Structure 1
C-alpha cells in the first residue's frame, strides 16, 4: 500500500483500499502519522502485541519434552494492549496506544474478543500444565498440546483482524449495540 495519496484520493477522503485519509477526523489525522510503523492503517492495530501470546504458545507446545519450561510459562501474565506497548520499549509505542483507542469498532471489538479468549486459554493451560507435571498424565499433556495449537490459531485470527480483515465474531448489529448506536 502506498503511503502517498493521489489527488483523487485526497478529494474523496479515501485511499485506494477504502481507508479514510481525510484530516477532518481523528482517525484520518492519525493515519497520516503511521508511515514507517507496523500499525495497520485500516485497523489501527499492530501485530507486535501478538508476540505476547507467541511465547506461551511455544512453551505449551514443548512442555512435555521440556518440563523446566513451566517456570517461564507460570511467570506469564496477561497484559493489556497498552501495557504491552508501554513495557515494549518500541519507538512507536505511544502511537500504537493512541491508535488502539481510535481503532474502528469493527476491528477493535473482534480483536478484544479474541484477546480475551487467548488470555483465558493460556490461564487454563498453565493450570493444566502444573497438574500434568505433577501427575505425568499423557492425556493432560495431549490437552495442553491441543491448547497450544488453539492458541496459535487464535493468534492467526487476531493477526487477520490487525491486517484489516473484519472479525467473524462480531456483526454490525452487535457493534452498533456496543457503541450505543441502536
Structure 2
C-alpha cells in the first residue's frame, strides 16, 4: 500500500469506512502496515520521534557527573517530526511522515504543542548553559531541565499512544472485525 493511500484509522465512534471513502480492507491493511512500522494506527504517530528528546535528556543527565558532557548537549539541535525521520534509519520513515501528515488535526496540534514546549525549554537551557561556566551551576540547570522535560515526553507519549493506549495489533484486529 502506498504511504499516502489512507489516513490513520479513525477513532472508535468516528466515521465508518464508507463515510471516509476508504474500504474496510484498505483501513485494515493500513492498520497492519502502521502497526508493523511501530506507528500507532489510531493517531498516526510514532514513539520513535521521542528518542530525539530522550537523547537530550540523557545528555543533560550526564552533566552533573561529567560536566564536559555539557558540550555534547550543546551540540544537540531541535528537529521537527519530519526532519527527525528523514535523518533517521527508521525503516518506514516515509510512512511515518505520511501518517503524521494525515493525522487528525486535533491530535497533531496537541502533539505539536507539547513538542514545541520541549524544544523551547531545551533551546533555552542550551542558551543558559552557554553563558554559565561553573560546573555546579550547569549541573543544577541540567537537573531542573530534566524535571521540566521528562513529564512532557510522557505527555507526548500519551498523545502518540492515544486514549487508553492499549492499541496493539490484537485490539486493532478486534475493532476491525466488529
TM-score by length of 2: 0.74
Q: Which residue of 1 aligns with 2:163?
A: 165
For structure 2, the 5+ residue unaligned runs are: 1-8, 165-178
CA deviation string 1:53-112 (max 9, x = no partner): 001111112212111112211111111101110111211100000000011122110000
Distance 2:102 2:144 in 1: 35
For structure 1, the 5+ residue unaligned runs are: 1-12, 167-182
Query: For the Cα contact (< 8 Å) 1:30–1:99, is it kept in 2?
Result: no
Total equivalences in the alignment: 151
TM-score by length of 1: 0.72
Deviation at 1:35, TM superposition (A): 3.6
Q: How does 1:3-82 map to 2 (within 5 A)?
A: 17-18=12-13, 22=17, 24-25=21-22, 28=27, 30-31=30-31, 33-82=33-82
Aligned-partner SS, 1:78: coil
CA deviation string 1:29-56 (max 9, x = no partner): 7445314121001111000000000011
> RMSD of the TM alignment (CA)?
2.8
CA distance 1:111–1:14, shift in 2 (3 Å):
closer
